[in-house]
Amino acid sequence: MNKILVLLAEGFEEVEALLVVDFLRRLNFEVDLVSVGNSRDVAGSHGIKVIADLKLVETDEVYDGIVLPGGMPGSANLRDNNLVIMLIKKFYNESKLVAAICAAPIALYKAGVLKGKKHTAHPSVKDTFVGSIYTGARVEICGNIITGKGPGASAEFAMEIARYFGSVDEAEKLYYDMMFN
């Protein structure tokens, strides 16, 4: 059973967080929504409040992957959190999945894991990336890094995360059954 950590910072993009969690849980992944702030209550960029399963400081579990939803100011809040940057580096260096969508790849960039790597992100932050290869694709996979362009690519992003962990047929069937195609 793969265990995934989805980080929520104030101002996260709701679609990118909740669609990924929903998709992966339907495939029987164990997914924890984790607040990077002082409270388990986290407000998204469009005012939807979510109660996280845990606060980041409470996690001591071993996870197989980390997912960073985008949104503003959520992405900036992830980028500016030293514990988040340390986790990104740790997961990357341990060859675990590091996934970010929309503007959240700015946190991956700050962590130094995008250097020389192909990736995508929301066009509003593309000028941030120096020394990496921004493609503008809907979803980009480069080793243990998966990036997505924005809310409209959330289902493809979630499917690629599931496929990364070997749930290829199941993820494609769910994508089709949920009528994303």
Q: Which of 10, 13, 102, 119 is catalytic?
A: 102
119: annotated active-site residue: no
Instruction: Classify residue 49 as exposed, middle or buried by CB count within 10 Å of its CB (0-12, 13-18, 19+).
Output: exposed
Query: Could you give the C-alpha distances from 167 to 8, 75, 114, 125, in angstroms and in order?
Result: 25, 28, 25, 31
142: annotated active-site residue: no
16: annotated active-site residue: yes
Q: Which of 13, 14, 119, 122 is catalytic?
A: 122
Q: Which residues contact 30 (CB under 8 A, 6 or more apart)?
A: 1, 2, 3, 4
Query: Nearest 5°: phi and psi at 72?
Result: -130, 135
User: Amino acid letter at 85?
Assistant: I
Reported in sequence order, the residue ranges of the chain that DSSP labels E, i.e. its strands, are 3-8, 30-35, 41-43, 49-51, 54-55, 65-68, 97-101, 118-119, 133-134, 139-142, 145-148
Point out the residues that are catalytic. Answer: 16, 102, 122
